[in-house]
Amino acid sequence: MTQSIYSNYPPDLSPDQQKFLVTAVKDWAIQNGLAVRPSPAVVSSEANPNGVLATNAPVTLFPSPFPRACFDEAIALQEIYNKLYASITCNEEWLGVIVKGLIEVDDFVANLWKVHQAVQKEGYVQNLSLGLFRSDYMAHVSPTGAPALKQVEFNTISSSFGGLSARVRQMHTELLTSPPGSSINYPPHPLLQSEVPPENNAVETLSSGLAQAHKAYGVSKSTPALPLCVLFVVQDTERNVFDQHALSKQLSTVHNIAVFRISSVDILDQTSIPSSNSLRPLLYRPPHSPNSTFEVTTVYLRAYYSPDEYKSSRDWEARTHLERSAAIKCPTVLNQLSGCKKVQQVLAEPTGEDHLSSFLKDVEPTLVERVRSTFAPQYDLSVNSKGRELALNPETALNHVLKPQREGGGNNIYKSEIPGFLKSLPETDWKGWVLMELINPAPDAQNVALRSDGEVLRGDVISELGVYGTILWDDTGKILHNQEGGYLLRTKGKDVNEGGVAAGFSSLDSVLLF
């Protein structure tokens, strides 16, 4: 079955057919906002001094086949995954034990924990938290059975590409359904005639999560009352802006909510918390409209997930400032920490205390087991542990990836490099890393990608599915809103270990279910 799906897909393209498709895709991308700002490696700053240029996001020309059973299972489990990470975040004591095991070897985790402790000492004034999550998977092919859904990682901060993934789905659908003779369509192929990629409501779901938080914030805490807004905190050098605009546009046009973008470096200059107001509202004064002040209901972080974003103590001060405010944070520091790879490894431990069942006490046990079966084997590297043995043995290392407590791509160590890398570190640092067995998706999948610099790549590929979910909860664990919604498929060359789109490894894709 698997063999026959991939064996002659996608169709071969003559040079003219490829040129036609590439033209159709690159024009569609710009016309419809499936775009990114070019990196300086693609367009130098001398050629683009005012930063006005945009280019297509890296995309596949064809949607990739993906097993329907795995896709449906990922969708079915998303709300339980949302709940799992909300419950972990509520259990500060449990999370604290994990974090304390990392603090001495990981400054970034240590500093995040300090922010939490500082705010805890003063007292939190907002008991609601918002999660816009993405759970990432691959369809693992075992030599014997059907493909199985296996989780790569769970993202609790800055889960990106919801905006653009819906656009790719739309583009592939137009290519599939436009009549022959249109400026956009595919050469004939049986798989391309059968169906279109499933609907992708990521923009609606993610923006509706933000809108729910905005509403739950209630009325202004200022006297006199101020107009309310949602604030997107973004990186100074962000290139993936159109993905973010897809969400902010939906928030302002459909939900009628004022939305502003602020660079993380401007937080301390452009926002304030009046010391006279013990409710600690976060006030925002837009520089383009200095006479109007807004009160921020919800802070959506598309920044602050990586240590290199905290260049000085002022950046940590800014993060603390947001955390201590009354705005609902997406995510809170604790929720960000719940996304540590170490948490995923502890949840996946096959023996010892059953943390997964404890966090999902009120979920039907069969569903809990379905969540558990998405875990790939993961190990710590403690003395005499199986993880240490597997990582140091050059043969077994080949089937593993070594991960630190980081997000955003480019941080992992793969396969043959693991033993040497570990030996180059003091053994005391090893507890900052987890070892994970490699997931092996279909070996014979192929696709063609159009990169942002116009390069066209054809070859063997690996696809990673991400499913989005949003959840709003309070610190007692009460859930006010929980929704699955939308997906991302990222496809990369088979020889590439890393996976991020923004990091330059993958292309955006959509799925043809089989």
388 binds, among Mg ion, ligand ADP, none (CB under 5 to 8 A by kind): none
Q: Which of 403, 461, 467, 491 binds ligand ADP (CB under 6 A)?
A: 403
Residue whose CB is nearest to ligand ADP in the complex, by number: 499
Query: Contact 330/213 with Cβ under 8 angstroms?
Result: yes
Binding mask 138-177 for ligand ADP (x = CB under 6 A): --------------xx------------------------
Taking the least distance from each CB to Mg ion, the nearer of 263 and 440 is 440
Paired strand residues for 153: 136
Query: Contact 467/371 with Cβ under 8 angstroms?
Result: no
Give least dist CB 214 to ligand ADP, A.
28
- Tell me the window of 24-32, 99-107, 195-203, 494-502 that interacts with ligand ADP (CB under 6 A): 494-502
Length reported for the chain? 514
Binding mask 409-448 for ligand ADP (x = CB under 6 A): x-xx-----------------------x-xx---------
Q: Which of 106, 243, 407, 509 binds ligand ADP (CB under 6 A)?
A: 407
Active-site amino acid positions: 134, 153, 155, 160, 341, 403, 407-408, 490
Taking the least distance from each CB to ligand ADP, the nearer of 191 and 439 is 439
What tokens does 422 get? 């570990």
Give least dist CB 136 to Mg ion, A.
5
Paired strand residues for 511: 64
Give least dist CB 354 to ligand ADP, A.
22
Give least dist CB 74 to ligand ADP, A.
15
Taking the least distance from each CB to ligand ADP, the nearer of 211 and 436 is 436
User: What is the residue-wise DSSP string for 177-234?
Assistant: HSPTTSSS-PPP-HHHHH--PPP--HHHHHHHHHHHHHHHH-S--SSS---EEEEEEE
Helix axes 202-217, 162-177, angle to 10 degrees: 150
Cα 393 to its chain centre, rounded Å, is 32
Taking the least distance from each CB to Mg ion, the nearer of 153 and 484 is 153
Query: Alpha-carbon distance 278 to 300, whole Å?
Result: 23
Taking the least distance from each CB to Mg ion, the nearer of 79 and 407 is 407
Query: Alpha-carbon distance 248 to 271, whole Å?
Result: 19
Give least dist CB 345 to ligand ADP, A.
11
Query: Alpha-carbon distance 145 to 499, whole Å?
Result: 26
By CB under 6 A, tell whether 59 contacts ligand ADP.
Answer: no
Q: Where are the alpha helices (DSSP H) in 104-161?
A: 107-122
438 binds, among ligand ADP, Mg ion, none (CB under 5 to 8 A by kind): ligand ADP
CA terminus-to-terminus distance, the chain? 9
Total binding residues toward ligand ADP, as defined by CB under 6 A = 18
Taking the least distance from each CB to ligand ADP, the nearer of 145 and 426 is 145
Residue whose CB is nearest to Mg ion in the complex, by number: 153
Cα 69 to its chain centre, rounded Å, is 22
List binders of Mg ion among 113-172 (CB under 5 A).
Answer: 153
Over the range 367-377, which residues count as b (16 or more CB within 10 Å of their CB) and which as e? Answer: ebebbeebbbb
List binders of ligand ADP among 359-398 (CB under 6 A).
Answer: 376
Segment 306-311 long-range contacts (CB within 8 Å, at least 24 positions apart): 306/406, 306/407, 306/408, 307/107, 307/108, 307/406, 309/235, 309/264, 310/108, 310/111
The footprint of ligand ADP (CB under 6 A) covers 136, 152-153, 376, 401, 403, 407-409, 411-412, 436, 438-439, 464, 498-500
Interface residues with Mg ion (CB under 5 A) are 153
